[in-house]
């Protein structure tokens, strides 16, 4: 079975940025439809991912993400401004895709951090779901994150995946 991949915008292709993180889980007993409401509704993130807080939307958007939606959240100690650049719920055998461009700091300064964070949620045979999250980052803060051991992005995103799966399993049982 062929698995799908993240679609990268120009300037954010892994290997050509300052930092890259990739995390994936494959879980039996869940579907993309079970997972999607938890991922596509940022106000639900803090309930299962402790590294997210103070989520809000701009321009009367929300509570679900959508193409072009501007939102804000705090993670890894960063106040992240973001714009959703891809939002395709899973349907008809096609994977769900959500991605955003996030940024911190003033453009052109050493404190500037730009990221592309993407998620792919797809049903696999045998009643399994695959959840893939990948992020590329640019800027001096990204270079510092890349050098940190253990890698805070890999560990933080794994916590997000683990929490997402646990919350989906709990929702399914209730």
**For 21-41, what is each residue's pLDDT tens digit?**
999 999 999 999 999 999 999
The answer to whether residue 1 scores a pLDDT higher than 70 is no
Three-state secondary structure call for residue 132: strand
DSSP string over 60-103? T--SS--TT-EEEEEETTEEEEEEEEEEE--BTTBPEEEEEEEE
Q: Which of 139, 137, 95 is nearest to 6 (CA)?
A: 95
The sign one gets for the Cα dihedral 42, 46, 51, 55 is positive
pTM of the model: 0.95
Domains of the chain, each with CATH number or no CATH: 19-173 (3.30.530.20)
Do 145 and 77 meet the contact criterion of CB atoms below 8 Å apart? no
The torsion angles phi and psi of 14, rounded to 5 degrees, stand at -55, 140
Share of residues in the chain with pLDDT > 70 (%):
99
> Tens digit of pLDDT for each residue in 92-151?
889 999 999 999 999 999 999 999 999 999 999 999 999 999 999 999 999 999 999 999
Do residues 28 and 166 make contact, with C-beta atoms less than 8 angstroms apart? Answer: no
34-58-145-8 Cα dihedral, nearest 10 degrees: 60
| Pairwise CA distance, residues 39 & 171, whole Å | 13
């Amino acid at each position: 079975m062929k698995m799908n991949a993240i679609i990268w915008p120009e300037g954010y292709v892994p290997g050509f940025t300052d930092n890259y993180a990739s995390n994936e889980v494959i879980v039996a007993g869940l579907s993309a439809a079970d997972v999607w409401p938890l991922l596509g509704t940022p106000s639900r993130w803090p309930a299962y991912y402790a590294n997210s807080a103070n989520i809000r939307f701009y321009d009367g958007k929300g509570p679900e993400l959508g193409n072009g939606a501007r939102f804000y959240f705090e993670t890894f100690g960063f106040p992240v401004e973001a714009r959703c650049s891809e939002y395709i719920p899973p349907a008809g055998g096609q994977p769900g895709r959500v991605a955003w461009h996030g940024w911190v700091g003033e453009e052109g300064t050493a404190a500037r951090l730009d990221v592309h964070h993407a998620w792919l949620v797809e049903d696999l045979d045998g009643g399994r779901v695959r959840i893939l999250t990948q992020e590329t980052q640019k800027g001096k803060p990204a270079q510092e994150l890349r050098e940190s051991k253990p890698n805070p992005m890999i560990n933080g995103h794994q916590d997000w995946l683990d929490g997402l799966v646990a919350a989906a399993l709990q929702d399914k049982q209730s």
